Structure 1
Amino acid sequence: MQRISRLIIKKITSSLSRSEEAELQAWVDESDENRRLYARLTDPKALQETLALWQMVDTGRACRDMQSQVNRILWRSRLTRCITIAAIAICVLAVAVLLPSRTDMTVSTASTEAEVKGPQSVADIKPGVTVAVLSDAAGHNVALNASDTAKVATV
């Protein structure tokens, strides 16, 4: 059957040799079924209808659909990456703003020194504040809070 199908294709697309033509004609003459099949396969109108059906199929659509899906996945991954970078930047910025800077630490150190020079007399101690005054033999006074045990050790 493959030989006959090749001969029919060759008949439609190009010319057959005399021996091939004779072989094909012998096959056609074998039965009415072969004759109907040959007529249907070589009918120009049927061939045009089949060709029109084949041309209606959009072979590039599958490729376009796949490319669309790939582009959608790439877009989502890029968007996720941008959102991640933005979130990290916001976290870093928030930490930088919320944590005290070095200048704030020096101001707080200066206020602590003011407290150390703090109350010179009992009248300078305000109510509700727990403060002690440590005086040394040289006449230096040091104001101490409840958490200032390290100052006592250095003095």
Structure 2
Amino acid sequence: MHLNNWFSALFYRLFSRGAARPGRPALAGDVDQEMREVFLGELEDIIKNVEKALAAWREDFANPAHTRSMVRAFHTLKGSAPVIGATQLADLGRAAEATAKRAGRKRNPELHQIAALEAAVALLPKWLHAMRNGLPIPDDTRSVISALQRAAS
């Protein structure tokens, strides 16, 4: 690889963070197979935990334990996804964590906060499927992250 191409590739990786482009694989091809499997197993657990927490939270918004469970699951996602190069998934986790924290401060969260968190949770199985099958980043990733960011502000 020419030095120019190497710099271009480096700049692209550094500054394209969060730019979910159509056709871009959900999981980088150069990820260690063992790390990939560990992460996919962790993502399955995150999905189960956050789905359970969201359902419980919807039943009782005032219970801080439900909010903490959601925040914890999204925080884990935010921290572990970059390890395998899934920066857009980490961005989703970051935005969902912020929204869950903000919504959890209220006895009656705003409808757009609830909808954004539901959309984030619904998107996670699509990510798991895409990563398992070498498919592109789910199309609605950018719009869900944007909705979460609006709901967190």
TM-score over 0.5 for the alignment? no
More strand by share: 1
Q: TM-score, normalised by structure 2?
A: 0.21
Pick 1 or 2: higher relative contact order, CA cutoff 8 A, min separation 6. 2
